[in-house]
Amino acid sequence: MREISTRFWVNLRIESMARAIANLDTLRNRIAVSPMCQYMSDQGVATEWHRTHYSALARGGSGLVVVEATAVSPEGRISWADAGLWNDEQAAALEPIVREIKRAGAIAGIQLAHAGRKASANRPWEGDDHIPEGKPNSWTPIAPSAVAFGANLPRVPDAMSVEDIHRVQSDMAQAVRRAKDIGFDWLQLHFAHGYLAQNFWSCKSNKRTDQYGGSAENRGRYLLETLAKARSVWPENLPLTARMGVIDFDGNDEQMLGESIDLLRQMKREGLDSVDISMGFNSPDANIPWGPNLLEDIAAKVLRETQLPGSTSWFIDGPSSADRMVREGKVDFVMIGRPLLSDPHWPYHAAKELGVPEAAWKTLPAPYAHWLARYR
Ligand code: 536
């Protein structure tokens, strides 16, 4: 007989992170919707697609819904159809989405991002490659150094001046202010996946000889400064988190992991409350060991050594794996992506599978829960 889960469905007390969520100090469970790009925005403005998409995910029962990578400036979009938060029209379009997420009983989070040298690409299902210079919907990407990612993303970015760096950090601060003003209660900075923060963090993309390049201290400077800038605008009582690429699976793993743990310890001192452990994606020829729960042990190590509360994602192999990772204390919560695209009611099915009493009422809105709980 399988042990009935308790811990997965015990509410995650956000107080255990340094800050408490205003008026709501717990998540209803330890399932978070991973930020997932929809590439369905119009000039960075959320559309009807986003309203129904996020509403369905929130109604599906996850404790936290993190809105997709949202660019802090136009050139920081991965594609022309990315979400943005560099103007008030974009903020106004997101506001009702935040309200719907909260009305459905989830915490509303947002991931703020800058794509760096991976910017100006086609949507994944339209090629996933760089749009060449001069073509419609293309622009010149910017990055710490004029070094291309390679493979499907061959465009050489413009190397950023120190003024450019400060401008993007100030764009970040303004986007954070807008996120706060429209009611988000959870902020995640995108420090992973080969985008701008990783372009600074990785020796592969950062060839600078100034204070932003060279040593780990210098390569981490952009990330620490950006975090401090965000922290100065984001309310003290709300969680400020990051998705951090800690490993590339490119042969330099021990060094990157060690340096990342060190940097995260400094971020914690600068006010980082929680971290989602992910990959760097800094190189097209990395050898990623794709498979079930591939980041589980790496995440556990980083969270243990930094003493940061946190999560991981990537091929979490179903509810019992997720539950086990939490029960074993490896992560504090899980970030679920693709399984929620396949089934927005994944939390309900997870609760049933794990033997949670009143699974429907714990996860779904009354008009669904009533019928599912009574007449099965
Ligand atoms: C995940 N991706 C992450 C994105 C957008 C595109 C896809 C993001 O962080 N904004 C991914 C990367 C590499 C391979 C598979 C999936």
Q: What is the pLDDT of residue 237?
A: 87
- pLDDT over 50 at 18, yes or no: no
User: Hey, is 219 helix, strand or coil?
Assistant: helix
Looking at residue 147, its amino acid is V
Q: Give mean pLDDT, residues 2-13.
A: 55
> What is the end-to-end Cα distance of the chain in Å, rounded?
23
Q: What is the pLDDT confidence band of residue 14, given thresholds at 50, 70 and 90?
A: low
Task: Give the confidence band of 19 by pLDDT, cuts at 50, 70, 90.
Answer: very low
Atom of ligand 1 nearest to the CA of 68: 10
Centroid of ligand 1 to alpha carbon of 281 (angstroms): 9
Give the sign of the dihedral formed by CA 75, CA 191, CA 277, CA 95: negative
Looking at residue 58, its amino acid is: A
Residue 276 CB partners (closer than 8 Å, separation 6+): 188, 241, 242, 243, 244, 310, 311, 312, 313, 335
Q: Is the pLDDT of residue 226 over 70?
A: yes
CA of 295 from ligand 1 middle (Å) equals 15
* Ligand 1 atom 7 nearest Cα: 37
Region of 161 on the Ramachandran plot (φ > 0 left; ψ -120 to 50 alpha; else beta)? beta
Minimal-distance CA residue to ligand 1 atom 5: 37
Catalytic residue among 39, 54, 195, 348: 195
Beta strand pairing call for 107-113 and 31-33:
unpaired
3-state secondary structure at position 113: strand
pLDDT band, residue 340 (cuts 50/70/90): very high
User: What integer is the mean pLDDT of 157-173?
Assistant: 98
pLDDT of residue 341: 98
pLDDT one-digit tens code per residue, 27-55:
889 999 999 999 999 999 999 999 999 99
Atom of ligand 1 nearest to the CA of 193: 9
This prediction has a pTM of 0.96
> Is the pLDDT assigned to residue 196 strictly greater than 50?
yes
Ligand 1 pocket: which of 36, 37, 41, 315 to mutate (most atoms <8 Å of CB)? 37
CA of 371 from ligand 1 middle (Å) equals 37
Average pLDDT over residues 206-231: 98
User: Atom 9 (ligand 1): residue with closest C-alpha?
Assistant: 193
Ligand 1 center to 193 CA (angstroms): 7
| Domains, the chain, ordered by start | 2-374 (3.20.20.70)
Task: Please confirm, yes or no, whether 195 is among the known catalytic residues.
Answer: yes
In angstroms, rounded to a whole number, what is the distance separating the alpha carbons of residues 359 and 349?
A: 8
Query: Residues lining ligand 1, judged by CB closer than 6 Å?
Result: 37, 69, 193, 281
